Amino acid sequence: MRTHVTRTLRLLTVLAVGAASACAAAGCGTTGADRGVAQPRSIESTPQGTRARQVADAWDGSKAAQEWHKGFYPLGEVVQLPEGGLRGEADKRAWDIGNLDLTGKLPGAEPGSGRVTWESGGSLTAPLLQAEQAYRTLDHAEGPGPALTVTAARLGDMKVATSRGPATVPAWLFTLAGYDSPLKRAAVSPSRLPASPIEPLGQDVPTDVLAPLGGLAETAQDGRSLTVVATHGSCDDGPTVKALETSGSVVLSASTTGSDDGPCTSELRGEKVPVKLDRPLGERIVLDAFTGRPVPYGEWPVTGQSRS
């Protein structure tokens, strides 16, 4: 196994430079857990904790955070299967590979914008995806195989979990042959992310010290845990994720364990890792310590249930 001394010193050097422009420390945050196992509350005394604190200080109360709180950022599926799910292995396989067969005619151009409305109050107007655009995000198989047959589509709405709580959003409702309820696909895209108030780390930081996250896969209904996709390679024992919590954010620090110098392939793998929180997420921003940016929902790996 390789020593972590060199890479830890390298990250400390990077953080020392970044600290000069970071915000002054604002109250002490708390740490979460990785893989559902309790972790020692020592993240802030590590290089990862130093970086996480810098990211939290940069975002908490910032203009970027204010912009983020006004936007539409899904924390749940923007594609919802018919009630009861798909029936039969052929239909499930068709969905997994993204193979749809359009036999009807999709609606033409609709009005250019739709309204996202939150249960807690507030709304915003966002550009509408055309039916054809929404359909193409679902149908992308390039070879033969089982297919789901789409016979019609109409504009309706659906509920989506977001960073501001549950919201009702415009959605394309696709009629599937053999199903009584539609396949739903949100007809509005997430808001553009605000410019981050802190720069990302350089790519020369080893992944067994700190690595970028692949995406946010799930948020528990009670808000007390997250599932994120953490990336790792073929010559390690997998990823680990720790959390630093503040009043305004949850900063996640991902890294790999068990790295060695043996021959490795260049394959990048994604693994879902649950992270427990000390208190419900609420409207706090989930941030990536490596990139210094909010963790996007469903970015990696792209699956049939989370295409956007």
pLDDT tens digits, 136-150: 999 988 778 899 999
Q: What local confidence, expressed as pLDDT, does residue 136 receive?
A: 93
pLDDT the model gives residue 267: 60
Instruction: Read off the pLDDT band of 305 (50, 70, 90).
Output: very low
Predicted pLDDT of residue 257: 78
Query: What angle do the packed helices 5-19 and 47-59 form, to 10 degrees?
Result: 20
DSSP 151: E
- pLDDT confidence tier of residue 259, bands split at 50, 70 and 90: low
Q: Provide the CA 44 distance to its chain's centre, in angstroms.
A: 24
Backbone angles phi, psi at 153, to 5 degrees: -150, 150
What are the two backbone dihedrals, phi and then psi, of residue 10, each rounded to the nearest 5 degrees?
-65, -45
Rounded to an integer, what distance in angstroms lies between the CA atom of residue 75 and that of residue 205?
29
Question: Which two three-digit tokens encode residue 293?
Answer: 């940016």
Pairing of strands 285-288, 249-257: parallel
Determine the residue type at 3: T
- Tell which wins on pLDDT, 230 or 54: 54
Reply yes or no: is the peptide bond before residue 170 cis, omega within 30 of 0. Answer: no
Identify the residue with better confidence: 301 or 267.
267
pLDDT at position 141: 82
User: How close are the terminal C-alpha atoms of the chain, in Å?
Assistant: 40
Per residue in 111-144, pLDDT tens?
688 999 999 999 999 999 999 999 999 998 877 8
Phi-psi region of 15 (alpha: psi -120 to 50; beta: other; left: phi over 0): alpha
Mean pLDDT taken over the chain: 81
Look-up of token digits 């997250």:
226
**Structure confidence by residue, pLDDT tens digits, 200-213:** 998 788 777 788 89
Give the pLDDT of residue 145.
Answer: 86
Would the pLDDT of 217 be above 70? yes
* pLDDT score recorded for residue 176: 97
Contact 47, 12 (CB under 8 A): yes
When pLDDT is averaged across residues 269-274 and rounded to a whole number, the result is 82
The count of residues in the chain is: 308
pLDDT for 268 equals 62
Q: How many CB atoms lie within 10 A of CB 293?
A: 20
What is the per-residue pLDDT for 60? 95
What is the rounded CA–CA span in Å between residue 270 and residue 264? 16
What residue spans of 84-204 are helical by DSSP H?
89-97, 131-138
> What span, in angstroms and rounded, lies between the C-alpha atoms of 113 and 5?
54
Q: Over 50: is that where the pLDDT of 12 sits?
A: no
Token duo for residue 201: 């780390």
**pTM (2 d.p.):** 0.75
Asked if 128 and 187 touch (Cβ cutoff 8 Å), the reply is yes
pLDDT tens, position by position, 137-191: 999 887 788 999 999 999 999 999 998 989 999 999 999 999 999 999 999 989 9
